Amino acid sequence: MALKSKGFPNRLGIWGWLGGGRWGAERYLYTLHRLTGLGLLAYFLLHIVVTSARAFSDAAWSRAMSQVSGPFFKFGEYLVFLAFCFHAINGIRLGLVELGIAVGKPIEPVYPYRTSVDVQRPLALAALATAFVLAVIGTISMWSD
Amino acid sequence: MSTKFENITYRIRRFDPERDRTPNWEEYRVPYTAGMTVLEGLWKVKELHSPTLAWRSSCRMGVCGSCGMLINGKPRLACNTQIAELDSDTVVVAPLPNFDIIRDLVPELKPMFASHQELMPYVVREDVEEREHPTNEFFQSAHELEHYLQFTYCIKCGCCMAACPTVATDALYSGPMPLGQAHRYNSDTRDGGFAARKAILGGEAGPWRCHYAGECSRACPKGVDPAKAIQLMKRELVIDYLRLRKTKCPAKVAEKPTEVKRREGIPDAPPRTV
Amino acid sequence: MMRDQKLWAWHLIAGAVILIFLGVHMLTMHMEGVIKIQSLNPASVGHVDKAKIPQAGDRTSDEGDIHPIDWANVRARGVRTLYMTGYIVLLGAALFHGLYGLRNILFELNPAVWLKKTLSALLLLLGLGLFVYGAWAAVMARAVARAWKM
């Protein structure tokens, strides 16, 4: 598989993840899914440590929460919520697609080709719309205090 | 008859391993004729400007898969791409990305073919005697054919590999073409090689690094839809892991009909000449 | 070491589990302004003497309602075994899902074989360590909640 070749190296590297110059929508959903996943993971690892304060006492909990109650943290939590909305709903779409449910059946290809990308496009749009609605609910809820 | 353009500028990524340390861009101007494809333009460049320009091409009708290149930012077949459809008087041609460059527009495709070969892209059966000395055809219904027919149209051009974001970084990932073809054989009812292919597909070379960016299916010039093949294959492999997959025997040899009576008045077939 | 076929299947299962449990967590924490469910934030509804409840953050006790992260609500949830179990399940699923995702991203960058093995071991240790710590915290939190008197 990893055959040695003597040619000039020409892999796109991470630029290939970011689009490589092409503009397929699903490719950008994939990139965004990765970015939100990394953001959620970073937040989550810290979250475990911060929320463990409730295991010690109510005073420890209140102290921990005061430390993360500033505007920077509040905005960060809001971004985490938005990331969750996108990552979760797009994750449902990816689960359906990657288990072969939403990609359609094999067909006889007749030009112009209707690929699985076209078949799952309504699902992608519905997923984005749902994520948007959830984000709006969360925005109203979080910023209406 | 007036044509869309009078002249076209070709901006080509050149690389001669004996002369150059890195690839560089060169520009050439060629006259445009109506209906001209990118491949025809390359022949014009070679004829009028640079006889040393190197690329692969053969059938010039989109069936051999030799002329895959990066044309105006997208991996396409040069023979299948009309200059008029690019909507620009500049045609930017580079070798397919994600493959090493041998020279000019010639990519090193051996790693892709090696991955392809490892996944056994042929019917694997236990009855070797029948395969070596066939007595009759294997039975397969039209419905069973539909399950994999789309994936047989692959011409191994490498455009999907150039478009894939995972192939852009990961050298161990097999890529859309080998995986699509592995699924083509796994879903062929004549084949019994699922277990043998699973040994490779279950690991890092398998479809697990595909995250459905869908670019391979968008780039494919034959409508093979490798993205669909890979997702269908993931489904089969997960079902297999959960031990819910029904093992099917490969298709049997079709039996000659025994209860058929010849209608009266129909002559015998002429004797075989071979 | 589990092969990718198995790890990926569990990645998907963990994702489905997180969807449910984290969905409830988000409803509890961030959507309470619009969708109020009493069993998620028991102390936010009904009569609670705000002056006696430790307030999270820098709000004083007579400013507005009890918030989801105030001790009253944290205690009301933490005292229940159902919540404790739910948090532990969410912790395990999210650690597996997230760290496997990170492992995928790092492995796609083509590290050397020895680095892959090291990364796998480190991520496994990190995941197990945080799971043990988080599960301990959930169990202790229930004990603290039960012992707490207003």
- Taking residues B118-142, report their average pLDDT: 90
What is the reported pLDDT for C60?
47
Strand B90-94 versus strand B68-71 pairing type:
antiparallel
pLDDT score, position C3 = 87
Query: Where exactly are the structural domains of chain B?
Result: 7-107, 110-241
Among A48-57, B18-27, B68-77, C65-74, name the one with the lowest average pLDDT. Answer: C65-74
Which residues of chain B lie closer than 8 angstroms to A117, CB-CB? 214, 217-218, 227
8 Å CB contact of C144 and A56: yes
Of residues A112 and C40, more confidently modeled: A112
Place of tokens 């005073």: A59
What's the rounded Cα separation, in Å, for the pair A142 and A82? 11
Chains that touch C (3 or more CB pairs under 8 A): A, B
Question: How many Å apart are CA C4 and CA B209, to the nearest integer?
Answer: 9
Among A13-22, A120-129, B146-155, which is the least confidently predicted range?
A13-22
Q: pLDDT at position C68, please?
A: 80
Partners of residue C102 in chain B, C-beta under 8 Å: none
Separation of alpha carbons C83 and C89, rounded Å = 10
Residues of A within 8 A of B171 (CB-CB) are 1-2, 11
* Proportion of chain A above pLDDT 90, given as a percent: 59
The mean pLDDT of B171-200, rounded to a whole number, is 95
Contacts of C134 (CB under 8 A, 6+ apart): A48, A52, C87, C88, C91, C95
Backbone angles phi, psi at B97, to 5 degrees: -70, 165
Residue reference for tokens 């779409």: A93
Helices (H) and strands (E) in chain C, counts: 4, 0
Q: What is the largest CA-CA distance in chain C?
A: 61
Nearest to A55 among C19, C32, C140 (CB): C140
Residue A66 belongs to what domain range? 26-103+113-143
How confident is the prediction for chain A on average, in pLDDT? Answer: 88
Segments in chain A forming alpha helices (H): 14-17, 25-51, 58-67, 71-98, 116-119, 121-143
Query: Which chain A residues are closer than 8 Å to C61 by Cβ?
Result: none
- Whole-number pLDDT of residue B112: 97
End-to-end CA distance of chain A: 57
Tell me the per-residue pLDDT of B62-101, one tens digit each, with 9 for 90 and over.
999 999 999 999 999 999 999 999 989 999 999 999 999 9
Do B97 and A24 make contact, defined as CB atoms within 8 angstroms?
no
* Residue whose structure tokens are 């430790």: C54
Contact A66 C57 (CB under 8 A): yes
Q: Which tens digits make up the pLDDT trace of C119-142?
A: 999 999 999 999 999 999 999 999
Q: Domain residue spans in chain C? A: 4-147
The yes-or-no verdict on residue B103 having pLDDT over 70 is yes
pLDDT at A23 over 80: no
Q: Which of C34, C53, C90 to mutate to test the interface with A (most CBs of A within 10 A)?
A: C34
How many structural domains does chain A have? 1
Judge: C26–A59 Cβ closer than 8 Å, yes or no. Answer: no
A144: confidence class by pLDDT, cuts 50, 70, 90: confident
For chain B, give the mean pLDDT.
93
Say whether B228 and A104 touch across the interface (CB within 8 A): yes
- DSSP secondary structure code for residue B33 in this structure: -
The chain B residue lying nearest A91, using CA atoms, is B211
β pairing state of B90-94 and B7-14: parallel
- The class level of CATH for B7-107 reads alpha beta
Question: Position of tokens 């020895």?
Answer: C114
- Cα distance from N-terminal residue to C-terminal residue, chain B: 55
For residue B179 the two structure tokens come to 């995986």
Which residue is associated with the tokens 């112009």?
A: A112
Query: Is the distance from CB of A8 to CB of B23 less than 8 angstroms?
Result: yes
CB contact under 8 A, B170 and C108: yes
pLDDT higher than 90, residue B263: no
Residues 36-75 of A with CB under 8 A from C: 37-38, 40-41, 44-45, 48-49, 51-52, 54-59, 61-62, 65-66, 69
Q: With an 8 Å Cβ cutoff, are A117 and B234 in contact?
A: no
The CATH number of the domain holding residue A131 is: 1.20.1300.10
Choose among C3, C9, C110: nearest Cβ to B203. C3
- Contacting chains of A (3 CB pairs or more, <8 Å) are B, C
Nearest to C32 among A37, A45, A141 (CB): A141
Question: Rounded to 5 degrees, what are φ and ψ at B74?
Answer: -125, 145
- Residue among C72, C84, C90 nearest C24 (CA): C90
Least confident of B145-159, B200-214, C59-73: C59-73
pTM here? 0.89
Whether A35 shows a pLDDT value over 90: the answer reads yes
Predicted pLDDT of residue A52: 93
Assigned token pair, C78: 């933490």
Sign of CA dihedral B229, B235, B236, B237: positive
- Band (pLDDT 50/70/90 cuts) for residue A3 is low
The mean pLDDT of A45-49, rounded to a whole number, is: 94
Q: How far apart are CA B199 and CA B206, in angstroms?
A: 9
Would you say residue C2 has pLDDT above 70?
A: no
The pLDDT of residue A1 is 45
The whole-number pLDDT of residue C150 equals: 63
Say if residue C61's pLDDT is above 60: no
Q: Is the pLDDT of residue C26 over 60?
A: yes
Q: What rounded mean pLDDT belongs to chain C?
A: 85
The per-residue pLDDT for C54 is 66
Q: Within a 13 Å sphere around the CA of B104, how many CA atoms are in the beta-carbon half?
A: 13
CA distance C33 to B92: 55
Which residue of B lies nearest to A33 if distances are taken between CA atoms? B211
Distance separating alpha carbons of residues C5 and C62, to the nearest angstrom: 55
The arithmetic mean of pLDDT across residues A92-102, rounded, is: 94
* DSSP H helices in B53-109: none
Element holding B13 (H helix, E strand): strand B7-14
pLDDT of res. C70: 82
Q: Is B31 left (phi over 0), alpha (psi -120 to 50) or beta?
A: beta
Which SS3 state, helix, strand or coil, does residue B225 take?
Answer: coil
How many C-beta neighbours within 10 Å does residue A140 have?
12
E-only strand ranges, B85-239: 90-94, 101-103, 106-107
Grouping H, G, I as helix, E, B as strand and the rest as coil, residue B69 is strand
Distance CA B163, CA A20 (A): 8
Gap between the Cα atoms of C87 and B192, Å rounded: 45
More confident residue, B253 or A22: B253
Tell me the helix, strand and coil percentages in chain B, rounded to 5.
30, 15, 55
Using one digit for the tens of pLDDT, what is the confidence trace for B216-226?
A: 999 999 999 99
CB-CB contact of A140 with B184 (8 Å):
no
Give C35: exposed, middle or buried? Use CB within 10 Å, 0-12, 13-18, 19+.
Answer: exposed
The answer to whether A23 faces chain B, any CB pair under 8 Å, is: no
From A44-53, A120-129, B122-131, the region with the lowest mean pLDDT: B122-131
Contact C54 A141 (CB under 8 A): no
The pLDDT of residue C50: 60
pLDDT of C22 over the 60 cut: yes
CATH of domain B110-241: 1.10.1060.10
This model of the complex carries an ipTM of 0.86
Burial class of residue C121 in the structure, from the number of CB atoms within 10 Å of its CB (0-12 exposed, 13-18 middle, 19+ buried)? exposed
